Structure 1
Amino acid sequence: MEIAHSVLLLPETLLFAVVAFITYLIGILAQELSKGFRRAMGISATALAGKVGGWANAVGRAARTLSVPDSSGQQIRSAVKDAVSDRYAERGLPVRASLCFPVDLLEDQLESLSMQLWHKAPDQYHETDRLAAESAFRTGVSLPLLVLGIELGILGPWWVALLFLAAALVLLRQARVLEGERRALLATALSQRLAESQLLAGTVRTLEELNLLQSTGSLEWQVATAIAMEKAGNVDGYDRMIDDAVREVSELVNFSDADWEGQARAYADGATTLLLDHRDPKGADLISRKTDEAISRVKEATQAPQPVDSIDDGLSAEAVLKRVGREAWRRI
């Protein structure tokens, strides 16, 4: 109590400085908790905008900007795609093959490129480090600032809490933008060959060794990419490409034909043969099992009573069967 009383006797400017410094220290200590608060605000803001009306809905829409990707997201995706197409073209692989590469997996690995910049491009590394520090600072301060605002709102005017809430949301938004800028800088470094992804390099190298024909279809390239992911030890990428290969079958089969099942099994058999030729019985078994499951779903969907009535948009019976079959197949 004596310490609190002594603090309150300080001049206002000095008292504000003390409060600001304490807030800064709390922010550093609670940085991980603040990161969770930032993620929670990004998720809950969307739900808030959809469930309440009036002025609260306006607040929800404003807060929802925390969960909406900024322009750097497009820059990241574009730079990563450029890097993928460039590495594929360098090895003489067709564009069709590069389109099968899961670019989102590469985006998730951008953080690992930072240390490469430290050696090859110090200026870019220092810039990414600065952006990371500024983002972390804003994230760390946001939650303590909100707590301080609530306390002041309880002790004084209620609108003080709203001001501090607005300040916390602004800081969270700034942190998100800065993090986006940092990731965009790393993606640009990848596209400019200032850094290299082991996943991308290993995938391209394996695809070149497989020596597939330029005329090879997308289904075979997806299976080949799965083989490359397996060799690179990327389990998520392997499972993803196996699922994508099974989904690709739905784009090749005409579900309005009487022999659509035979078509589907023929395409699946081609995929499993490629996997077995490269000593991957696990992948061949996965595709066979997922194909059987997809065929069962399509039969159930297309044999339902009056399937045409389930889609009332003026399509012919043949078009409805194609759509229903494709949608049922892709529900992996």
Structure 2
Amino acid sequence: MGLLTSLLPGLRDLRAPLASGLLWLGVLVAIFAPHSDRILRDTPEGAAIKELLASGSGTATVPLLVSVAFLIGSAANTLSQLTARLIGSVGLDLLAKLEKLSLSRFRFKKGAAWLPIRLFANLVTARKSLQPISLTARQLIVDAVQNIFGRSKAPGSVSLIYPIDSVLDSLSYSAAHLAVAAPTLYQEYDRLRSESEFRVAVVPPMLTLAILLPLEHSPYIILFTAVGCCVLLAQAVQQVRAANNILANAVYLDHATLPNIQSVADAFKDLVPQPETDGQWIGALIAILDHKGLFDEANAATGELADHSERILEDAAWYLREHDRPQFRYLFTLLKEKDDPHQAELVARLLDAERFSDLVAEDRE
């Protein structure tokens, strides 16, 4: 049983590149078969290859074709995954912008003339169901972050200001721990992940083959293939969501870890002296992120801090001034750009402190 558990992930990883590679080989055959006489040079080696292919000897050609198909599929799958992520990101951003146009009010319009608009409005309002992370998984991750920070004595405000999107983007890194802590759960996660990758991998060559093959009633075949490809892509999205739900549940139940969050929580425990106010804890969070090289997360948290209440903002600003000067200057820049009258007094005090600090530095020089 242990051997089978170890083999299954590898076998699943072979399936997608092999299947898509064979389909892409079919595409290449459809393109170059009419010109096969001109592909190989008229040399002894070219004649030997033609003779080998004409003989149909499976002993030599089948392993060769399978190997070539795997290599082509591996390269094509990487491009397919990147393209799918790019299209998905752009598409979701576009739907989010269209959602602001209040298209949902057209969902209940009656009459055949409104049918295309109703369908489009339903697609826009269904944007959340197309995201790879469900709302349930997102909430579980938020709760898990709160639990991890809570065990290090950090207040709840720290977990609220942490950029949760960065945690969701790195959620897949928790799978390695899940494979050790809960192998059965990991097998289900890996199955869903590989099923999604398989569907994304075979869609482009299937659609290309349907377009290139000289078949009767070609427009109908292309249409049916396109519909089938859309169904496969929809299934892929749902399987990614299901796989991420498993990871989110595992993280919430402590079957898997969030490496960056755990690293920050461990750093909280080593702080001497410990922060006393919510603002100081938030300042400590930003300083730890910055010192650990998580610059995007630190900048995002500082951006959130700039919109916080004045009391928390002031405590965090003074803490950053003492422990993380780059983020303090970034926060100071954000506050000056906002030009909020409610924060004018704080900005003036911070500016005076910076001027005093510069004078002291000049005197020392």
Q: TM-score, normalised by structure 2?
A: 0.60
Q: CA deviation at 1:37?
A: 4.6
Q: CA deviation at 1:226?
A: 0.5
- With a CA cutoff of 8 Å and minimum separation of 6, indicate the structure with the bigger relative contact order: 2
Residue identity (%): 22
Amino acid corresponding to residue 125 of structure 1 in structure 2: Y
1:1-332 equivalent positions in 2, closer than 5 A: 30-39=76-85, 41-42=87-88, 43-44=90-91, 68-69=129-130, 73-151=134-212, 156-208=217-269, 209=271, 211-213=274-276, 216-217=277-278, 219-248=279-308, 251-252=309-310, 270-278=315-323, 280-295=324-339, 298=340
Partner Cα separation in structure 2 for residue 149 and residue 187 of structure 1: 39
Map of 1:9 onto structure 2:
none
Instruction: Note closer, same or farther for the CA distance 1:234–1:2 as it changes in structure 2 (3 Å cut).
Output: closer
Instruction: Note closer, same or farther for the CA distance 1:180–1:55 as it changes in structure 2 (3 Å cut).
Output: same
Partner Cα separation in structure 1 for residue 177 and residue 155 of structure 2: 28
Q: CA deviation at 1:275?
A: 1.2
Are the equivalent residues in 1 in contact too, given 2:174–2:259 (CA < 8 A)?
A: no
Are the equivalent residues in 1 in contact too, given 2:157–2:282 (CA < 8 A)?
A: no
Which stretch of the first structure deviates more once superposed, 149-158 or 105-114?
A: 149-158
Are the equivalent residues in 2 in contact too, given 1:222–1:244 (CA < 8 A)?
A: no
Q: CA deviation at 1:98?
A: 2.5
Partner Cα separation in structure 2 for residue 150 and residue 180 of structure 1: 31
SS of alignment partner, residue 136 of structure 1 = helix
In terms of Rg, which structure is larger? 2
Partner Cα separation in structure 1 for residue 92 and residue 172 of structure 2: 27
SS of alignment partner, residue 130 of structure 2 = coil
Partner Cα separation in structure 1 for residue 328 and residue 132 of structure 2: 41
Structure 2 unaligned blocks of 5 or more: 1-32, 37-65, 99-112, 344-365
Are the equivalent residues in 1 in contact too, given 2:207–2:225 (CA < 8 A)?
A: yes
Structure 1 unaligned blocks of 5 or more: 5-20, 253-265, 300-320, 323-332
SS of alignment partner, residue 158 of structure 1 = helix
Partner Cα separation in structure 2 for residue 66 and residue 173 of structure 1: 12
Q: CA deviation at 1:153?
A: 8.5
Are the equivalent residues in 1 in contact too, given 2:155–2:281 (CA < 8 A)?
A: no
Instruction: Note closer, same or farther for the CA distance 1:97–1:28 as it changes in structure 2 (3 Å cut).
Output: closer
Are the equivalent residues in 2 in contact too, given 1:146–1:164 (CA < 8 A)?
A: yes
Partner Cα separation in structure 2 for residue 160 and residue 58 of structure 1: 28
Q: TM-score, normalised by structure 1?
A: 0.65
Partner Cα separation in structure 1 for residue 212 and residue 119 of structure 2: 21
Count of residue pairs the alignment pairs up: 261
Map of 1:306 onto structure 2:
none
Are the equivalent residues in 1 in contact too, given 2:189–2:246 (CA < 8 A)?
A: yes
Instruction: Note closer, same or farther for the CA distance 1:96–1:41 as it changes in structure 2 (3 Å cut).
Output: closer
Partner Cα separation in structure 1 for residue 87 and residue 119 of structure 2: 12
Name the Cα RMSD after superposition. Answer: 3.8
